[in-house]
Structure 1
Amino acid sequence: MLTLLNLLSGVALLVWGSHIVRTGFLRVLGANLRNVLSRSTGSRLRAFITGIGVTSLVQSSNATAVITTSFAAQGLLPLTSGLAIMLGADVGTALMARVLTFDLSWLSPVLVLFGVQTFLSRKQTRLGQAGRTAIGLGLILLALHLIVEAVQPMLLGTGVRVMFGALTGDTMLDVLAGAAFAVISYSSLASVLLTATLASAGVISLKVALCIVIGANLGSGLLALFGTLAQNAAARRLALGSFAFKLAGALLIVPFAPLLAHGLPGLIANPREAVVSFHLIYNAIRCGACLLLIDPVARVSNRLVPDQPAVDGAFRARHLDVTALSMPALALANAAREVLRIGDVVQMMLANIACLIRQNDSEKARETVRMDDDIDALYAEVKTYLTRISREQLDEADGRRWADIIALTINLEHAGDIVERIVVSIQEKKIAHRLEFSREGLGELDDLLARLVSNLQLGLSVFLNHDIRSAGRLLAEKERFRDLERDYAYAHLGRLAGQTVQSIDTSALHLDLISDMKRMNSLFCSTAYPVLDAVGALHGTRLRKRVLDTMYGGMQRG
């Protein structure tokens, strides 16, 4: 019993080490991997090579599948390019299995010692996450050594032989066992490494090992299918096409497993080497052949999983992929894209206000009020999505980005509420009584609205790019907007003193509008503060006016 527990603990350590390596690489290189994948859509061969490279880094075809299906779900990746990346991922994980079966036991203590020291001293930095990855690699190598040690006493136990002997009777049972283990462990790489080790120790026959390896490939395809069940049709099509390639390869190779098991020892005497070499050659040949079949498989996938029409014009989140939550960099990028959609809705609402101050259009007013419901729905989804990202997994930079995203989300939702209040006020005080603003008042409101839209766009740009010059310009525009709001309020009061009839009729509405626009402008300009604070241009929460005046003056001269 103790021997079996030792084996199971070694397997658990292998799975855990694979998980640490995968998450460590994704935290260090998540955003860069995202950019690499996004640039691989021009050529299928390039996409295939990209899949190999990314998977070799993260040591998990499942992690590559999560990123790729997320891109497909957002419409950023064509189906054919996504299928090529998934095929490359299968070859990449086979290459890593080949590397990890070399005798690297001496490297395990070095990696663990370096990794622990680096991670504990610099947890929130990229170097610290690199140390975490080194720990995972060391644990994988240690786990393989422990598994080899654990299976040696098992060879003497008849009960253990009987237990594993259940896998030798039926080819399909062996394939299903491999698929099940890959799904349970969330790692086809761990399945292959364990199988190769057990075959080397003589616990299972070479035929069983080959069938388990084939099943592990199927298991990784099932993981991708399960992971896209809650996603849109584009992601499900990609997972289905990838699984179809794996299933076709399994159906073609399984009948020949007995012959391969009989012939391979003549070429490769070591069972462990034979299993890993079979895994690499099988995936290389299968994926190379499947590259030629991408177009027909894509067409069939499109027929089987068609796009679903929008239901009742529902305004739902597009980019909040739940499968990316385990990869903070990708999840934060998804949330940022969704926040930009909220900004687009706010901008449309402001454009509607520009129409409503000129025309008494009740229908447009009702439509604008309804748009605030869209903002509220997106706000709730983004906020929930962000709270599901583990803060413990975020390094210092990602932690700041998380805070920036949630702050902008809240500010845009608040801006939507202000716009709704403005529109309701226009309905009650202007449209219902068929009033008009004076020509001068209308010009002032148009000017403030144009500046408000411009500052919203600039604020979103600062949020995306963290450009210091743009941030300085944004806060300078905030000051200018405040001055204009005060000047226009005084000008309006002057028209009241001059007994301008239209100004008298719309006075309360006019003053409320410019006050609300000033409030919204402050919300839009708030994205500048974190950028300037990061370079020391702010003192606490107060702007160092001299620094920004100099910065803005330099921009004006440029």
Structure 2
Amino acid sequence: MEFPRTLLELAGSVALLLWGVHMVQTGVQRAWGARLRTVLGQALRNRFAAFAAGLGVTALLQSSTATGLMVTGFAAGGMVDLVPALAVMLGANVGTTLIVQALSFDVSFLSPALVLGGVLAFRRADAAATRDVGRVLIGLGLMLLALRQLLDIVTPYEDTPSLRLLLGALASEPLLDVLVGAVLAWAAHSSVAIVLLVMSLAAKGVLPLAAAFALVLGANLGTAINPVLEGSGADPVARRVPLGNFASRVLGVVVTLAVLPRLAPVLAAMPGDAARLVADFHTLFNLVLATLLFPLLPAYARLLRRLLPARVDPADPARPLYLDAAARETPVVALGGAAREALRLADVLEAMLAGLAEGLARADRRRLAEARRLDDVLDRLTGAIRGYLSGLDGEAMSEADHRRVTEILTFVINMEHAGDVVDRNLLVLANRALKRGRPLTPAQQDELAQVLQRVGANLRMAAALFLSEDPRLARLLAEEKPEFRRIEAEAAEAHFAAMRAGEATEISALHLDLLRDLRRVNAHLVAAAAYPVLETHGELLPSRLRRDD
């Protein structure tokens, strides 16, 4: 029973280490994720500033993958050149080594204090930012505790002959070590955790240094695999940064692996314990790789553009463009992509309204049919955005992130409902009028065209408000609602007056129905963008009913 129990304890300690890394990453993302994204975006003017920003942001996030997702979004959207984007990744790879260097010292005595301080900050503080700092402190404490447990577990077995024999065989197969390290880092989504694990095993002499160095090479390679695999279906432009980073790591691993038999004895002879040597090797690998590749980035970027040219074929309009599956673990990136995708719904709805206006003005039933087909695009995009948001990591989201999810869903749902009104009501009514050969009167056509123009302007205002969240713009949009009620009331009064005089016709009733449904579309636009902003700023009353007091 001793060996199975030891395996269980070892697996539990590794799981605790991974969870500690996860808590640090989510805590930093919740507290400073949006700010770090802004800093990173501002630093992408040249490759020197980009390198420094990538190093600093990754040192805080403890995830080169999260940094890579941010810069990939910038590069895919054309907001940054490929050269500084690749420079960010070089800096990010160096940034992952800083926490490894810090934890290579024996600071396990800080674990109880970090956990205690983190729990007090998490349970006692009212501010969300303080609770997130508490989450980071707990994560660091758990990491130190897990590393100490790993050392205690492997100590009794460091002189076991069978274990020595197995690990000696591993030391003679460096390529196998690289593959094992890559698989572990890919599965754990963290090179930091795997390097720390290797350091713990090497510190007690359980793992030979040659095997430890090869495992570290594999961990550096494995952490670059996930963005490549998860972005395999993306546009070639969006794949340039992750593939470029992966290819550079493959090159570095291949070259280092070739010289490792001569390099390992030299490093082993240097002063310091085994854990320090492993941490130094990890840092040295990334620093040398960054130093060699940095001057070659312009040529490397040209090669990537040639191998991965921008897609020029017409895309399916219902295919999501900005819902990156790899970004789900980094909500600050994922929410930006979901918001960009939501704006496409406004474009589709605007095209539907334009089709309705042209179909009525030109008596063109084919144009109305094209507008109806756009509702399928609207529905498919809506379903994709909903599914994407439901798959986000709630643990990594701050209160502001949760509020933004609600705002995006509110916008998306109202855009879909507005599209349904256009598809099932307005276009049906327009088709009915054209099919019976009873066009609207010139006065009715002019009024309807003006109202359609107004709805289109409000739609563009709603899209702008969704991005800016400006309360002044929200008030302007909300004030359109009583105007549409007035337009409908005047049309209804004119229709009822014609009925009393015996002059009402089917066309006048149809004209009133069209105006009524356009008012419903405008109401959805107000609910999509204006109401969430006004409610956030405390400028929205709970009811239109007059209070007796």
Alignment TM-score > 0.5, same fold: yes
Residues 452 and 521, structure 1, Cα contact 8 Å, conserved in 2: yes
- 1:331 equivalent in structure 2: 334
2:296 is the alignment partner of 1:293: yes
In 2, Cα distance between the equivalents of 1:22 and 1:229?
25
CA offset at residue 192 of structure 1? Answer: 1.5
**1:456 CA drift (Å):** 1.9
1:393-542 superposed matches below 5 A: 393-420=396-423, 421-429=425-433, 431-491=434-494, 504=505, 506-526=507-527, 527-542=529-544
Does the CA-based 8 Å contact 2:26-2:396 persist in structure 1? no
Query: Counterpart of 2:287 in 1: which secondary structure?
Result: helix
Aligned residues: 542
> What residue identity is the alignment partner of 2:144?
L
**Cα separation, 1, equivalents of 2:326 and 2:61:** 16
Shift of 1:533: 2.3
Residue equivalent to 1:13: 16
Aligned partner of 1:165 among 159, 164, 168: 168
In 2: Cα distance, 1:425 partner to 1:138 partner: 66
Q: Check the 8 A contact 2:322/2:340 in 1, yes or no.
A: yes
Answer yes or no: is 1:127 the counterpart of 2:133: no
Alignment partner of 1:184 is 2:187: yes
Match of 1:389, SS state, is coil
* Contact 1:196/1:276 (<8 A) preserved: yes
Report the Cα offset of residue 165 of structure 1.
2.2
Paired residues of 1:537 and 1:544 also in contact (CA < 8 A): no
Q: Which residue of 2 aligns with 1:367?
A: 370
- Worse-matched range after superposition: 253-262 or 115-124: 115-124
SS of residue in 2 equivalent to 1:537: coil
Aligned partner of 1:538: which letter?
A: L
Distance 1:133 1:392 in 2: 13
Q: Deviations over 1:442-495 (max 9, x none)?
A: 332222222212222222333322222222222222112211221243345567
Native 8 Å contact 2:491 2:512 kept in 1 = no
> What is the letter of the counterpart of residue 533 of structure 1?
E
Alignment correspondent of 2:222: 219
Distance in 2, matches of 1:394 and 1:177, equals 32
Q: 1:409 to 1:92 in 2, by over 3 A?
A: same
Q: Is the Cα–Cα contact under 8 Å of residues 329 and 398 in structure 1 kept in the other structure?
A: yes
| CA distance, structure 1, for counterparts of residue 487 and residue 429 of structure 2 | 22
Query: What is the match of residue 556 of structure 1?
Result: none
Change (3 A) 1:159 1:544: farther
TM-score by length of 2: 0.91
CA contact (8 A) 2:128 2:399 kept: yes
In 1, the alpha carbon distance for the partners of 2:125 and 2:366 equals: 58
SS at the partner of 2:362? Answer: coil
Alpha-carbon distance in 2 for matches of 1:364, 1:232? 31
Matched, 1:106 2:109: yes
3-state SS of 1:320 partner = coil
Cα deviation for residue 90 of structure 1 reads 0.6
Return the alpha-carbon distance in structure 2 between the equivalents of residues 279 and 544 of structure 1.
Answer: 69
Letter in 2 for 1:202: G
Secondary structure (helix, strand or coil) at the match of 1:325 reads helix
Matches within 5 A, 1:201-240: 201-240=204-243
Report matched runs for 1:340-379 at 5 Å. Answer: 340-379=343-382
Cα deviations by residue, 1:311-344 (Å, 9 ceiling, x for unpaired): 6744311111122222233322222211111011
The Cα of 1:514 is off from its aligned counterpart by 0.6
Q: Which moved more, 1:447-456 or 1:47-56?
A: 447-456
Q: Normalising by structure 1, report the TM-score.
A: 0.89
- In structure 2, list runs of 5 or more residues that go unmatched: none
The farther-off stretch of 183-192 and 387-396 is: 387-396
C-alpha spacing 1:169/1:541, structure 2 compared with 1 (3 Å): farther
Q: Deviations over 1:161-208 (max 9, x none)?
A: 223223111221222222222122221111222222222221122222
Contact kept in structure 2, 1:123 and 1:395, CA below 8 Å = no
How far off its partner does 1:306 sit? Answer: 4.3
Instruction: Report what 2:63 is aligned to.
Output: 60
Equivalent in the alignment of 1:550: none
Question: Partners of 1:499 and 1:292 in 2: how far apart?
Answer: 85
Alignment of 1:315 onto 2:327: no
- RMSD between aligned alpha carbons? 2.7
The 2-side partners of 1:344 and 1:494 are apart by: 39
| Structure 1: tracts of 5 or more residues without a match | 546-558
Cα shift at 1:215: 1.6
Identical columns (%): 39
